[in-house]
Structure 1
């Protein structure tokens, strides 16, 4: 059994914050001190923090036809990647005030893929880069019929140009680690799906019977 970390939020003292940048995203410099493993408190340190908040990602799976739905879009942070700056990703979006992660998942599935899942399975949540960002992602698998899915979606007023792809599951898993899926949310979702694929297919057959 893995024990919980020794310290909690109560073992950190925030001394002050400085706002460095504020537009669509925010960046702060946080001055703090925290308890040490050897005892006592450490000295004051300053850490820049990229404030991005919570987000949701959804991989689409059709267990009846063994198909996976992923979206493709331009990403400025991937400009120098060997495969170029268009990335295969899970459908994703940011939480807005008053929304639950599943609310966001269903909203983004309509906007980015024009798909309504018949059920959603929660995969996990994770911190994308806790050394310098507070971003937290909630990941889901949306079970749906992908036999007629695909097309170009997104909100043009937000600069979105998103292509929805439907792939055979075997083709996706054969290419899982060759660099085509070069972002954490996609890799985590697809590895989860690879492990749970037999169960999801069996449950689909049971439902049909």
Structure 2
């Protein structure tokens, strides 16, 4: 059965504001139709976050990718909370996702992106946040890339890595890379490398 035939209804009965800092937290009381055709009222806390952009800088000519490494408070339960990640940033109200990708590539990795290809949009944790991620792969010349980057006013301390593409794939397999955006982007590239090479070769 096609999901297009489903017509599930929901209503937001109440929104209670709980907290506002870098992010906002609200408690929703809502009622929705169940799969059995009944109604169910539930309460859920929701973290209200800006949409984000993540981009994998890819050097097809040299078979390298550019990854960034930084401390993440959400990884404190791990032995190593410094994660290997994609270039990423939040969307300001007057920006489009591609602008964010290009701006953050300069700020976080010191690279200028060429052509950008959208991989997907996804919800990283819809059980508790409304954040949406716009995911890209971007063309880059990785020669000479490295060093420490980031904005002091945003508390960023970012180390840049130039990584052979096959090494990045291996890190996905062995768990060295353990965050969703990086895994999705690298696995997409692994599945679509031939197509992307032909596509960028044919695109002026």
Q: Compute the TM-score of the two structures, normalised by the length of structure 1.
A: 0.91
2:114 matches 1:118 = yes
**2:170 paired residue number:** 174
Residues 55, 197 of structure 1: alpha-carbon distance in 2 compared, 3 angstrom cutoff: same
Stretches of 4+ aligned residues off by more than 2 angstroms: 1-5, 198-208
Establish whether residue 51 from structure 1 lines up as the match of residue 70 from structure 2. no
Q: 8 Å contact 1:64–1:201 — kept in the other structure?
A: no
CA deviations over 1:45-92 (Å, ceiling 9, x no partner): 21111111310100010011111111000111112213x010000000
Please state how far the C-alpha of 1:170 moved relative to its aligned partner: 1.4
CA separation of 1:40 and 1:80: change in aligned 2, threshold 3 A: closer
| Map of 1:3 onto structure 2 | 3
Output the CA distance in 2 between the equivalents of 1:65 and 1:201. Answer: 12
Question: Following TM superposition, by how much is the alpha carbon of 1:2 offset from its aligned partner in structure 2, in angstroms?
Answer: 5.3
Which whole-Å CA distance do the structure 2 matches of 1:167 and 1:121 have between them? 20
SS at match of 2:52: strand
Alignment CA distance shift 1:29-1:121 (3 Å): same
Confirm or deny: 8 A CA contact 1:109 1:116 kept in the other structure: yes
Where in structure 2 are the equivalents of 1:163-202 lying within 5 Å?
163-202=159-198
Which of these residues, 63, 74, 77, is aligned with residue 80 of structure 1?
Answer: 77
The CA RMSD measured in Å over matched residues stands at 1.9
Describe the SS at the equivalent of 1:109. helix
Aligned equivalents of 1:66, 1:203: Cα separation in 2: 16
| 1:134-173 alignment, distance < 5 Å | 134-173=130-169
Aligned length: 204
CA distance in 1, matches of 2:151, 2:84: 18
Please report how far the alpha carbon of residue 116 of structure 1 lies from its aligned counterpart in structure 2 after TM superposition: 1.2
Listed as ranges, the gaps of 5+ residues in structure 1 are none
Q: Secondary structure at the match of 2:174?
A: coil
Q: Which residue of 2 aligns with 1:26?
A: 24
The one-character-per-residue Cα deviations of 1:143-177 (angstroms, maximum 9, x if unpaired) are 11111211211001111000111011111112212
Per the alignment, in what secondary structure is the counterpart of residue 71 of structure 1? strand
Unmatched runs of 5 consecutive residues or more in structure 2 = none
Q: Give SS of 1:50's match.
A: strand
Query: 2-side partners of 1:204 and 1:125: how far apart?
Result: 21
* Alpha-carbon distance change, 2 to 53 in structure 1, aligned in 2, over 3 angstroms: farther
Match of 1:37 in 2: 35
